[in-house]
């Protein structure tokens, strides 16, 4: 049976993807040189549509990388001499922390239990911290951090840099870029595209830090260090031969979402999330994993399934809906339902119908 993929990532592609691929083929986008004017036009278009969609200020740089995981490494390499500080409440925020460990920095962390948010009251960030790292939406657990808590921290520590992982919350998330220094995403989640492209958004402070570390003799990486990325980006190029397929399709999808209107997308996302949480809150045995309503993600809904989730996953599959299992240790006791912009109310109603029968 044909499946709709309500999986956290990779996920369901937008229905329009085949037509955009056709268009790219007709225009030879996937054959042209990455040093050509035509390629520069593609990059320019994608950056401008993405800037519009996510409301990214003109003075923030947009760079294309291989993945969000790469973005974590580049951010640490370019902006941390010794001390980053990480808010860890699941697998992806832990990966960010671990990246700093593996790059031989001395990161510190504040940990919250899986499925819970952080206690932001009386929070102290160590004096020596250079960069504070947040994961807006912990895809592994379905916990979303209120951005206002992050902005408060920026107010309290204006001299520290803030990096925000928005991989599974974009484009739904309304990020105020004046209150953070950097964010990043990859395209196989909320953008409903084939995997293999990361996007990094940084301000001049991040760039200056990178230049400063380089002058101090630290290793900031090679072709994807910030100065190298900027040099090419200013010409709408990339240091290496990039994923032009992903860059082209991202521009098309951002344009489609801009035409639809980001406010509509946000309202629809919230409505579908509400449908799911309302259903599971009143279900006899399947319950939302995240108990605190304020911490519940709108884009990845985790549900506890006491009698083993693989049974439920197969049942949904037989009805044309593929959902994710729980992450790692929760593999067989939870399901995770992605609620990204390409998902519609019919998909949600189908899930509710199947689980109720
Ligand atoms: C999926 C995910 C990542 C990793 O993305 P890749 O494209 O696989 O590198 C990082 N952070 C979060 C929150 C994610 O959901």
In this structure, the residue with its CA closest to atom 2 of ligand 1 is 167
Of 192-196, 272-276, 326-330, the one with minimum mean pLDDT is 326-330
Atom of ligand 1 nearest to the CA of 187: 7
**Ligand 1 center to 272 CA (angstroms):** 23
Average pLDDT over every residue of 120-144: 97
Report the distance separating Cα 255 and Cα 232, nearest Å. 24
**Ligand 1 center to 217 CA (angstroms):** 30
Flag whether pLDDT at 22 surpasses 90: yes
Residue 182 confidence (pLDDT): 98
Flag whether pLDDT at 1 surpasses 90: no
Rounded to the nearest 10 degrees, how much is the dihedral formed by the CA atoms of 315, 316, 320, 321? -160
Report the distance separating Cα 186 and Cα 196, nearest Å. 8
Residue 292 DSSP SS3 = coil
**Ligand 1 center to 54 CA (angstroms):** 18
Ligand 1 pocket mutation pick from 167, 197, 246, 327 by most atoms within 8 angstroms of CB = 167
Share of the chain above pLDDT 70, in %: 100
Residues with CB under 6 A from ligand 1: 9, 67-69, 92, 135, 137, 139, 165, 167-168, 186, 198
Residue in the structure block whose two tokens are 């009698």? 307
**Ligand 1 center to 283 CA (angstroms):** 30
Report the distance separating Cα 104 and Cα 106, nearest Å. 7
Flag whether pLDDT at 291 surpasses 90: yes
Flag whether pLDDT at 315 surpasses 90: yes
Average pLDDT over every residue of 87-114: 97
Model confidence, pTM: 0.98
Average pLDDT, the chain: 97
In this structure, the residue with its CA closest to atom 6 of ligand 1 is 68
Contact 205, 211 (CB under 8 A): no
Average pLDDT over every residue of 125-131: 98
């Amino acid at each position: 049976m044909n499946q709709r993929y309500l999986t956290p990532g990779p996920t369901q592609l937008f229905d329009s993807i085949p037509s955009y691929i056709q268009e790219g083929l007709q225009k030879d986008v996937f054959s042209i040189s990455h040093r050509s004017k035509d390629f520069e036009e593609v990059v320019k278009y994608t950056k401008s549509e993405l800037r519009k969609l996510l409301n990214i200020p003109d003075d923030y740089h947009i760079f294309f990388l291989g993945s969000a995981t790469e973005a974590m490494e580049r951010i640490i390499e370019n902006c941390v001499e010794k001390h980053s500080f990480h808010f860890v409440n699941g697998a992806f925020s832990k990966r960010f922390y671990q990246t700093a460990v593996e790059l031989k920095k001395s990161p510190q962390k504040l940990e919250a239990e899986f499925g819970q948010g952080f206690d932001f009251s009386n929070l102290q960030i160590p004096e020596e911290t250079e960069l504070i790292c947040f994961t807006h939406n912990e895809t592994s657990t379905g916990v979303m951090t209120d951005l206002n808590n992050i902005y408060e921290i920026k107010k309290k520590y204006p001299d520290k840099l803030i990096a925000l992982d928005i991989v599974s919350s974009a484009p739904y998330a309304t990020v105020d870029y004046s209150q953070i220094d950097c964010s990043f995403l990859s395209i196989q989640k909320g953008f409903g595209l084939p995997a293999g492209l990361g996007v990094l958004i940084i301000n001049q402070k991040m760039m200056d830090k990178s230049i400063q570390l380089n002058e101090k003799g630290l290793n900031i990486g090679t072709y994807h260090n910030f100065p190298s990325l900027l040099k090419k980006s200013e010409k709408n190029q990339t240091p290496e031969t990039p994923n032009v397929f992903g860059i082209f399709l991202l521009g098309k999808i951002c344009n489609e979402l801009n035409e639809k209107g980001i406010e509509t997308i946000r309202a629809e996302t919230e409505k579908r999330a509400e449908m799911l949480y309302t259903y599971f809150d009143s279900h006899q045995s399947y319950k939302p994993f995240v108990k605190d309503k304020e911490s519940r993600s709108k884009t990845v809904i985790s549900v506890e399934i006491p009698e083993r989730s693989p049974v439920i996953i197969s049942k949904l599959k037989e009805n044309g809906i593929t959902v994710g299992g729980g992450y790692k240790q929760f593999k067989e006791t939870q399901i995770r339902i992605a609620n990204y912009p390409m998902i519609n109310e019919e998909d949600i109603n189908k899930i509710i119908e199947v689980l109720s029968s």
